[in-house]
Amino acid sequence: MVKSARKLIGATNPLEAEPGTIRGDLAVEVGRNVIHGSDAVESGEREIKLWFGSEGIVDWSPAMLPWLREM
């Protein structure tokens, strides 16, 4: 999953990111490269605690979900 996400995000340096990736299409410099992607699940867990505290990320489903996707 991490590898797939990082492929979609693009290289850390936007000038090296492929067209069609988030950084390749929307970013212009390393320090402001639009999006962050952890390099491993363990890093992601640590970074979530760092940025979101003990509450972490909440589960949420849009009210329109039954209309968007058959369950």
pLDDT at 8: 96
pLDDT at 21: 96
Sign of CA dihedral 37, 34, 57, 63: negative
Two structure tokens written together for 31 = 């320090």
Q: Which residues are catalytic?
A: 36
Global pTM value:
0.68
Segment (H or E) for 50: helix 41-52
Q: pLDDT under 50 in the chain at which residues? A: none
Query: With pLDDT > 70 as the criterion, what percentage of the chain qualifies?
Result: 99
Summarised one tens digit per residue, pLDDT across range 14-25 is: 999 999 999 999
Looking from the CA of 15 toward its CB, the CA atoms found within 13 Å total 3
